[in-house]
Amino acid sequence: MTARVLSIAGSDPSGGAGIQADLKSISAVGGYGMAAITALTAQNTRGVRDVHVPPASFLAAQLDAISDDITIDAVKLGMLANAEVIRTVADWLERTRPPVVVLDPVMVATSGDRLLDADAEAAMRELLPLADLVTPNLGELAVLAGSGDGPPVVAETWAEAIAQAESVSARYGVRVLAKGGHLADDVAPDALVDAGTATIVDFGGDRIATTATHGTGCSLSAAIATLAAEHGDWSAAIAEARRWLRESLRHGEALGVGGGHGPINHFAGLWARGGTRTAPIPAEVEAEWWAGIADVRHEIDELPFIRSLADGSLEREPFLGYLAQDALYLRDYARVLAEAARLAPDAPAQAFWANSAHGSIVGELELHESWLGPAAGRSALDGAGESPVAEPDGATTAYLDHLLATAARGDYAVLVAALLPCFWIYTDLGERLAAGEFGAQALDPEHPYASWLATYADPAFAIATREAIAIVTSAASHATPAIRERMHRAFVASARHELAFFAAPLAAGSVAGATAGAVTA
């Protein structure tokens, strides 16, 4: 189940830190983000200009409204501007007891300025035991580790930072993520320190040279809260959150946001791996692809071969020539179907393409033999005997070259898209011939090619076609945009080869050759 994560923090209208960064971070690592705003800021990448803190009673109302209705799997705590706000949050946590609480104690700015007064700092210390993990920067770690009697001593070495984290963990009974990002070093280590189990888990990493660091602490803590709710393991959550953060840091400057310290790019990885365009559902793919070959389908409808086949005026010689080419085509088409079965990603698809290959060899062979004779049918498919047409013509050759080349590339999705028009266009023609759309002559039982026309409207083939459409459009829906585009190109190329194949029997030799040669994969 998706982790439902509540961020309780201040806002950042520039979008790089606070609530805005938290919601991006939660979403980027797979959670559902919610927000209760503790403070409104006027800030940008150069700094904070003003802060407005709404009444704590309104914060309490926000928190109660969420928890009264929604199960909260994790809470991230950020900017809590004063003691009243901190105690309001503490009271709510004690009442609701969320399973995961990560506290990013916004106490000391990067500049070193203290952001909370003494009363608020005292309230923050009281809040710490209610958290599962605290993620202070070095300045905040120094404040929490100090006694309060003098100025905090900020760690200058990683060993000093670890010692302070151990002190805070032991004193408040909370895990501490010590962060070395502000150390003057070429590396930027982090460590999960847990005095309760006497463990320290180190996370190494080279420093990333970038000015886009605005909101880094907010983003990391929100991501950790989300992933901890998902994994149930703090080390795993921190490791994955750091991997995501470092990727986002590397791409932050490319956003070009602001003239100061810009934000990280929270979605850089998602954009690169998945794109930013919504994938179509299978029904949308089906409608788009079918409409996209409307011109090809219209040209097929108007071909002299189709019209004369429908009204029965087609001479026997071109019809037998068409059947012989079709038999030659089926020989290699069955092999391509078998390759689709071999490449299929699941058993149902594998079975479908294998059954289709078998049908092409057995069922179609029987039909061709009934018209061409046993020797001719076998010759077309397996080389035995003699055939009226010994070699495939230009249209048949071009179509098979397209399918065989696609199969040889080994890309299942593109291959099945190339196979689909042979199902889809034939079924569409058959259903419309059977419905009399090409004239009533096609429905006459005495039609010279009645048995052949009946195969076009075979209900079993129509069912198989629907399954083929479902398999291919589902693959297209789940494919990347680049693969989906390649699938579409292969589909359109096959549709045009279908047109050339139907045109060839009645075309003059030179015209037929030109038509077939014009079709490209």
Contact between 44 and 14 under an 8 Å Cβ cutoff? The reply is yes
Catalytic residue among 215, 262, 377, 394: 215
Q: Which of 94, 50, 41 is nearest to 218 (CA)?
A: 41
Half-sphere exposure of 26 (CA within 13 A, CB side): 28
Catalytic residue among 18, 179, 377, 465: 179
Active-site annotation holds for 218: yes
Distance CA 521, CA 504 (A): 18
What is the chain's percent helix, strand, coil content, to nearest 5? 60, 10, 30
Catalytic residue among 217, 262, 377, 394: 217
Contact between 124 and 168 under an 8 Å Cβ cutoff? The reply is no
Catalytic residue among 31, 218, 465, 515: 218
Active-site annotation holds for 215: yes
Q: Where are the alpha helices (DSSP H) in 315-444?
A: 316-343, 347-372, 374-382, 394-409, 412-434
Active-site annotation holds for 422: no
Q: Which of 133, 51, 110 is nearest to 85 (CA)?
A: 51
Encode 116-184 in three state secondary structure.
CCHHHHHHHHHHHHHCCEECCCHHHHHHHHCCCCCCCCCCCCHHHHHHHHHHHHHHHCCEEEEECCCCC
Active-site annotation holds for 276: no
Strand order in the sheet with 4-10: 47-52, 32-44, 4-10, 74-77, 101-103, 133-134, 175-179, 190-194, 199-203
Active-site annotation holds for 88: no
- Hunting for tokens 């994938």 — which residue is that? 279
DSSP state, 82?
Answer: S
Sequence letter at residue 137 = N
Catalytic residue among 38, 41, 135, 216: 216
- Hunting for tokens 């079965």 — which residue is that? 341
* Residue numbers annotated as active site: 179, 213, 215-218
